[in-house]
Structure formats: C-alpha cells, structure tokens
Structure 1
C-alpha cells in the first residue's frame, strides 16, 4: 500500500507481540505483503525492527521477508536490509524483451535495467534473495531463453509463478498461462537444470517435488495436504484464512479483539485448512503424483475433471506433466538415499 495506507503503529505493535508469542520454535518468520512494499518507506521498517527487538524477550532469531519490483532499491535500502537480515523476493521476468512486455515504471518506461541494478545490489550487500518469474501466455514459449538468462547471471534461487486470472466461473484472462504449455515450460527447464545445475541453482517447484524422495513434508503451502498456514493480516488488524481469500466469507476475526493464537487455532481456520484435502475430487485422489501436488492451491480449483467432477485444478494438466516427468528421477534419488550408509 502507499505510505499513507500502511499498518498503524498500535496495530503493528499488537501484531508483532502476538506473532512472537504464537510462533513455536527459535526462528520466527515475518512475511510482509501489500502492493510495492518499499513504498511504505524505510521508517516503517525501522519501526518494525524496533518493535521486534522490544518484544523478542526470548531471544528468538527473527527473519523478515519482503517482495519488491526493485525500482526503489538503492544503497540505503540495501544497507538496512542487509544489517537486519531481510530476505528479498525480486520480481524479474527474464530477458529484457520478455520482462519489458509487462513491467514498466509508473511513467511507462521499461524497467529491466533498473531491476538488474537492484539484483546486483542485493548480491553486493550479500542479501538473501529469490527471483520471482511470472509465467504468462506471452513468455511461456521461451523456457530455455528464460533459464539461460538466469544461469548466465548466476541466479541462486528461482520461483516460477503461473499467472492464472479468473474471468467468470471457469474462464481465464487472455494473459493467463495455458496449463499444458506451463507444464512443458517447466519440463524443459527441469531437464536443463538436472543436466548441469543441481546443487547450484534452487528452483522452488523442483525442490518441492523432490522432497517426496526423502519422505519430507512440503514446505510450500500450495503443495501441502492441508493449507491455512499462510493466513493474511490486513493493515486494520483483520485476520483472513489465506492471503488469496481476503473477503468477508474468510474473515476469521481481528487481532484487537482476539489473540493471533486464538485465531490460528479457531474452528474456521482449521476447517479451511482441512477442506483442501477433503474437497479433492476422486480423480485427484487416484493420481499417481498426488504426493507431489496434493491438488495445488484451492484458488485454482475452478474447472471440472475429465469425468465431470467439480473443484479440479486449472493447472492440473501442466503439473501432471511435470511431476510424471520428475518421478523417475525422484525414485532414483530415493533409492540412492535409502541405500546410503548412515
């Protein structure tokens, strides 16, 4: 939100204290969201750090994460982010030609060069960061151009975010990525990654799929059996079941009236999380790669299965293509891991 629309100091203080109290474990994650986050200004984040230090009575390790388009990143920002251990998600859609199709400044100027400078600053200040690439119908045809761009610039962590914009009940916008093309995009990149870059570049969707080889639970909410672990807290203190469902139906309460712990453990929140699994169509339950996908995000479940069941994921054909392609490699990794002496 613009500077005048950030969370007020009183609610910010309540939230930070309750978040620290509610978090189990020694490492506490704060994920800040809302438009272009740097527009909130450095003073807002200085206030955040001050309140975190004030309420962190148990000496827990605090990690703050923000996402930015990079246009406002400069030495002052990066010095602050580095000193306070922030993790930064930087939006960059690959090559200049692809990126500048949709990402321009408020003045209509191509933004690729400023974003590259922002990326260089993140590296210079040794700030942990991930690169966020939105896969749309305009760039999905260029997987290796995209991947080689990131490789050549020594990317370390990449997240591919499929663009799915609903129009009506089960239609999508012209810019939304086609599911099968999305699957082929990821398959092409997986093959290039497997050939040369395992252990050098982390790609979120591949890392998540390969967790199944080690019998590990998914870390990313969209692939977990149940969701509800990434709720949304708005600037007025309203608590929603998920950051994709900020509507009255999914309003759980307000932290000025109920503690964060109470809201997290509420029947409404837990029912929301369980509904992800209980609402899965039979078609999904019988899928050979259900352990890699678990139906993905409920917000994308708005089409019918091939046999007519509702609540099927729009992206299913693409994820099915990818995960079936990954499965032989995952099985090989699992076999090698199980046979390795402890």
Structure 2
C-alpha cells in the first residue's frame, strides 16, 4: 500500500479523491483485496478529505457480499451491458454462452442492496444501427445513467466488423438525441455521458471526460 501513502501525502488536506478500478475485470482481484484497500484508506485519509470509489465490472462475479461492500463504502458501480440479449451476447461470451442473464441478475442484486450504478455500453457498428431500440431498452429497464463508448479500430488499422464509422456515430447520436430531448421536455431526464459533457461545456464548465477537449 506504499502507493496509497504517496497519494494521501501528495493530496491537499481538503481534497476530493476518487479511486477508480477498471480492467480487465477488477472483481477478479477478490473481495479481500478491496476490503484491505478500504481499511488502508480509512487509516490514511485526513478528516477533511473526501474519498470516493468507482468500479467497472461485467457483473458476472457479483454476489450479495460484493453488493454489501459496495453499499457500505458508497461505491459507484459501472455495469457493462451492450443492450438487449441478442445484441449483448453477440460479443460478450464465456464458455460459448452469452452473459446477458448474468448481467441482468447482477443489476437486480445492486438494486436490492441500494447500490448506485450506471450502464456502460460499447457502441459497436451493430448497436449504432439501433438507436431507437437501445433508447427503448434503457427506458424499459429504468436505466437513468448511461455511457456509450465508441468502438474504434486502432489507429492505422483497417475497420473490423464491429468498428464504428464516423457516419454511423453521427447518425446514431442524431437519432438518439431526438428521443432524448423529447424526454427532457417531458421532465424525464436520462443522464447520457456525452450530452452531460456537452452541457457542461456550454456552461463554460470543465467536462467530466477530459478527452472531449482533445487532451487530458
């Protein structure tokens, strides 16, 4: 935990500090690792420092013990879910079977334990062709906070079967925005990461995603 000590030594006495865990699959580190981490943070943090946690998971390993830990420490959980069953299972498989049922089970556990979560969907070529269906799916399941991560081919490499094109990116968001703004006008706000960041920019504020400015 030497790195943790350096973090708190470098931070101001009233700093906001966020520890975000991503992977791979961060739950593979095991619950004892995170319990020890949280205990160390409790010992090292200064009274006026505000510590937050976030974790991104595919949900397959989630159980009641994990959810109790997340609730206790106010961990914001990002759940990877690429839409409805057929779409999600297109690329998210294990042992030749899709993981949609596992992810939806995990979401029910999070709700049962009153854990805050959002949905992260990879915007592949296939998903980008279905903006209306995706919007309806999110609404049907009550997903009020969503992030859409564009699936891009590595630089200087050819497009793959699932890579997003600029044209599809534009067409998707044009259609999705029309649906989104209708709900906003009806006082039904769905937090979409890209739209939230653009609204912050329009207000002269710093967006939550630094890359939207072209640099971090």
| TM class by smaller structure | over 0.9
Partner of 2:121: 133
Confirm or deny: 8 A CA contact 1:90 1:130 kept in the other structure. Answer: yes
Q: TM-score, normalised by structure 2?
A: 0.92
2:172 aligns to what?
Answer: 185
1:77 is matched with 66
Give the deviation of 1:165 after TM superposition: 2.3
Alpha-carbon contact 2:89-2:100 (below 8 Å) kept:
yes
User: Contact 2:57–2:78 at 8 Å: present in 1 too?
Assistant: yes
Structure 1 gaps, min length 5: 1-12, 228-342
2:27 match: 38
Q: Which one has the largest radius of gyration?
A: 1
2:47 paired residue among 43, 54, 58: 58
TM-score (norm 1): 0.59
1:173 aligns with 2:148: no
5 Å-filtered alignment, 1:91-130, equals: 91-105=80-94, 107-130=95-118
Change (3 A) 1:23 1:156: farther
Deviations 1:99-122 (A, max 9, x none): 0111112x2221111101111222
Q: CA deviation at 1:208?
A: 0.7
Matched, 1:16 2:11: no
Measured against aligned partners, the alpha-carbon deviations of 1:237-267 in whole angstroms (never above 9, x if no partner) come to xxxxxxxxxxxxxxxxxxxxxxxxxxxxxxx
1:54 to partner: Cα distance: 1.4
Residues 176-185 or 56-65, more deviating: 56-65
RMSD over equivalenced CA pairs, Å? 1.6
Structure 1 residues 110-259: aligned runs within 5 Å: 110-166=98-154, 169-197=156-184, 200-224=189-213, 226-227=215-216
Question: Equivalent residue of 1:166, what SS?
Answer: coil
In structure 2, the residue matched to 1:287 is none
Residues 84-131 of structure 1 deviation map (CA, whole Å, 9 limit, x = unaligned):
1111110000111110111112x2221111101111222222212110
Asked whether the equivalents of residues 31 and 66 of structure 1 are also in contact (C-alpha less than 8 Å), the reply is yes
| Partner Cα distance (1:186, 1:160) in 2 | 10
Q: Is the 8 A contact 1:217 1:224 kept in 2?
A: no
> Cα offset for 1:162?
0.4
Q: Return structure 1 stretches of 4+ with deviation > 3 angstroms.
A: 23-26
SS of residue matched to 1:120: helix
Matches within 5 A, 1:292-307: none
Shift of the alpha carbon at 1:23? Answer: 3.2
Distance in 1 (CA, whole Å) between partners of 2:118 and 2:18 is 16
What secondary structure sits across from 2:119 in the alignment?
strand
- 1:225 to partner: Cα distance: 5.2
